[in-house]
Amino acid sequence: MGNGLRIGRLFGIELRIDPSWLFIFVLISWSLTSLFASWHPSWSFGTSLLVAIAAALLFFGSVLVHELAHSVVAMAYGIPVRDITLHLFGGVSNIEREPPTPRAELLIAIVGPIASIGLGMGMLVASSILINLRASDVGSAETLVSQLGPIETLLVWLGPVNIIVGVFNMIPGFPLDGGRVLRAVVWKVTGSLDRATRIAGGAGQAVGWLFVALGLAMVLGMRVPIFGTGLMSGLWLALIGLFLRSVAVAHVRGAAVDRALANVDVDHLMRVHGAWVAPGMAVRDLVDDWFLRHDEPAYPVIEDGVFVGIVSLDDLRKLRADDWGAKTVRDVMTPRPRLVVTTPGEPLSAAIRKLGTTGVGQLPALDERGGLVGMLYERDVARWLQLRTQILREAAPRVRHA
């Protein structure tokens, strides 16, 4: 399972909300309540609040459209999309692997801003039509805004905001869409995805630090064009900068890991002769004879030669220590149907993504008949990556001087 609360499925893509989204939703709704109350002095607080909530929901719906545009084009190129998650800083499409060509990267990246800008322009046109219908009833331009109805108010606010979102995303720094466009261009020119990723990631880190600096300047009272000034606005811009910088760093590191994992499958690292336990074993015996005496974080559960589940240290946290004697492994294990699994032939990079998104520390490797043939442990992968990186680093000088 992915992170966050599942809210639906569209085009075969799971839609999720990260818990941090609730904070920004409440913040935007409250801010818009004040804004709409200033636009419409005759509105009651309840009316301003309801329109503000609707505006916040439609805004995140627009963000969802932006991410769906990325995802649909990615799937058109045969790239799986795990889910779309709305979070504190907007949304993210969790695309399973890198695009196959610079053209694919360019199209996947640019379609999001196009969708946002197109959506914003459409809303402005619709609001203009509705306002023109009202114009004969309004005495002057100064009173026009106060006479707008809820629908016109929503469109007048959402139109420019979507255009701003589209333009902002075209800033040439990874992970923004503009950074992906930059990566596509560099990839096309150099023929190297690795080099393009490093350049786009470096640009993303520079943009992130720039936002941090601008945010701090705003906190100190400086007025920054477009962003304005003030404590809250400055802190928010600085937080966005730190977020962009951290994601850029993570992606560059992830690309390095993918290079190390090239042509490596699960069967290279999975354990094929590990211990297993029976479902009828008492939990206290499991703890005393297995978890305390060995360093395995989890054990497969086998019943009459059939793989039926996994029991891990996390599963034991469901019980109080007083209940260990009365409960069996079957009572606390995660059964086979609820497990995320892998296969011996699956690329190790794909299995690592499963480990990262599910939050578990191991994956059972099953054959084509569903039988258990091995266990892939996250710590084994981490140790292998560390050793491989160290060996390559030590060997590099000798290779250069050969």
Flag whether pLDDT at 221 surpasses 90.
no
Backbone angles phi, psi at 155, to 5 degrees: -65, -40
In the chain, what is the straight-line distance between the N-terminal and C-terminal CA atoms, in Å?
A: 48
Among 225, 152, 180, smallest CA distance to 74 is for 180
Judge contact between 286 and 293, C-beta under 8 A: no
Judge contact between 310 and 303, C-beta under 8 A: no
Residue 176 vs residue 143, higher pLDDT: 176
132 — pLDDT class (breaks 50, 70, 90): confident
Question: What is the enclosing helix (H) or strand (E) of 58?
Answer: helix 45-76
- The secondary structure of the chain in percent helix, strand, coil, rounded to multiples of 5, reads 60, 15, 25
Q: What was the pLDDT predicted at 401? A: 35
- Mean pLDDT computed over every residue of the chain: 86
Residue 136 vs residue 373, higher pLDDT: 373
What's the longest Cα–Cα distance across the chain?
85
Where do the domains of the chain lie, and which CATH numbers do they carry?
Answer: 5-170 (no CATH), 266-388 (3.10.580.10)
pLDDT digits (tens, 9 = 90+) for 279-311: 999 999 998 888 888 888 899 999 988 999 999
391 — pLDDT class (breaks 50, 70, 90): low
Say what percent of the chain tops pLDDT 90: 43
Amino acid letter, 209 = W
- Listed as own residue / partner, the contacts of 376-384 with beta carbons closer than 8 Å and 24 or more positions apart are 376/266, 376/269, 376/270, 376/271, 376/342, 376/351, 377/271, 377/296, 377/297, 377/298, 379/297, 380/269, 380/271, 381/269, 381/348, 381/351, 381/352, 381/355, 384/269
Q: What was the pLDDT predicted at 393? A: 55
Backbone angles phi, psi at 363, to 5 degrees: -130, 130
pLDDT digits (tens, 9 = 90+) for 333-357: 999 988 889 999 988 888 887 887 6
2 — pLDDT class (breaks 50, 70, 90): very low
Among 362, 364, 387, smallest CA distance to 377 is for 362
Q: What was the pLDDT predicted at 96? A: 76
45 — pLDDT class (breaks 50, 70, 90): very high
Question: What is the enclosing helix (H) or strand (E) of 242?
Answer: helix 231-260
Would the pTM of this model clear 0.85, i.e. be above it? no
